[in-house]
């Protein structure tokens, strides 16, 4: 999160919103935020909201969908979280995305599986009181300068193929690959395929991601393949992306939309 310089706010009613500066380190060719960074933002905001919505239990992300709208170059992306369902074992939230306070930027939907709080997390406490706070350890106003995907270790091996080593910095509270990093892998694999088939301006605008197994062994590998032909104009394609761990287990599966800005 320190690479994104994001901030979150919890209201007195428990609602959550967050802000993501759209810096050159995370910008897509069209000027909006790359889906990789948006995925980490919405997964983190949804996870923050789940702390109170699922209490006293715990929640793990089961699936995540993000649909980004074209905005052109923007400065800040805001996400507002809404709880849509709290069942006995399921929690569903959505996140309205707005750019520069006025431009509709998309929508994300997340489903969580509600479980008994794991024993090693029983005493873990998070700051969830009302107020706005940074989601990183950057100084106020300090912009991130590192390349986001390079810093978290996502490496393109070839068209449609990306890998990442499993390290504590990219793991969740149970030591498996963080859901936001799954999204970054899906983004890079499908965008890489788009750059190869559509051109250098390709970017991933939509993802529907299902989490299937905990990714506990690395390196983890995401591989994208085109589904059907490209659009008649040659500027858009649909892809499926599979992420497997070092043992070859399928850990997550996604369908994505890639287009040229």
User: Are 17 and 140 in the same domain?
Assistant: yes
What is the reported pLDDT for 173?
A: 77
Residue 44 has a pLDDT of 86
Indicate whether 19 and 111 sit together in one domain.
yes
Contacts of 185 (CB under 8 A, 6+ apart): 154, 162, 164, 220, 222, 241, 243
Say if residue 115 is in the same domain as residue 171: no
Whether residues 142 and 240 share a domain: the answer is no
Residue 249: per-residue pLDDT: 96
pLDDT of residue 85: 83
Say whether both 169 and 228 belong to one domain.
Answer: yes
Question: Do 161 and 140 share a structural domain?
Answer: no
How high is the pLDDT of residue 129? 64
Q: Tell me whether residue 125 is in a domain.
A: no
Does 214 fall in a domain?
A: yes
Judgement on whether residues 57 and 164 belong to the same structural domain of the protein: no
Provide block-wise average pLDDT over 10 residues at a time, the chain (261 residues).
80 82 91 93 84 72 92 94 83 93 94 72 58 65 71 93 93 86 95 95 96 92 92 88 96 96 76
pLDDT at residue number 131: 63
Q: Can you give the residue range of the structural domain that contains 201?
A: 153-261
DSSP state of 172: -
- Domains: count for the chain: 2
Examine residue 237 and state whether it is found in any structural domain, yes or no: yes
Looking at residue 138, which CATH number applies to its domain?
A: 3.10.129.10
Burial class of residue 79, CB neighbours in 10 A (0-12, 13-18, 19+): buried
Same domain membership, residue 160 and residue 112: no
Alpha-carbon distance of 68 to 158, in angstroms, equals: 25
Domain shared by 102 and 160, yes or no: no
């Amino acid at each position: 999160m320190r690479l994104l310089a994001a901030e979150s706010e919890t209201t007195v009613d428990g609602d959550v919103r967050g802000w993501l500066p759209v810096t050159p380190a995370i910008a897509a060719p069209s000027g909006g935020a790359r889906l990789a960074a948006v995925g980490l933002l919405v997964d983190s905001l949804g996870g923050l909201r789940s702390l109170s919505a699922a209490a006293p239990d715990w929640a793990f992300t089961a699936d995540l969908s993000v649909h980004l709208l074209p905005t052109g170059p923007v400065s800040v992306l805001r996400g507002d979280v809404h709880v849509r369902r709290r069942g006995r074992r399921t929690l569903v939230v959505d996140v309205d995305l707005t750019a520069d306070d006025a431009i509709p930027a998309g929508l994300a939907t997340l489903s969580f599986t509600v479980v008994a709080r794991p024993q090693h997390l029983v005493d873990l406490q998070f700051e969830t009181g009302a107020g706005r706070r940074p989601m990183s350890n950057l100084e106020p106003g300090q912009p991130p300068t590192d390349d986001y995907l390079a810093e978290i270790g996502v490496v393109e091996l070839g068209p449609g193929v990306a890998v990442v080593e499993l390290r504590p910095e990219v793991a969740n509270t149970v030591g498996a690959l963080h859901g936001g990093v799954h999204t970054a892998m899906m983004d890079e694999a499908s965008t890489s395929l788009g750059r190869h088939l559509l051109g250098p301006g390709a970017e991933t605008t939509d993802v529907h991601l299902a989490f299937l197994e905990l990714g506990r062994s690395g390196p983890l590998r995401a591989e994208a393949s085109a589904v059907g032909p490209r659009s008649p104009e040659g500027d858009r394609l649909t892809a499926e992306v599979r992420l497997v761990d070092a043992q070859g287990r399928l850990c997550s599966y996604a369908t994505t939309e890639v287009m040229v800005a």
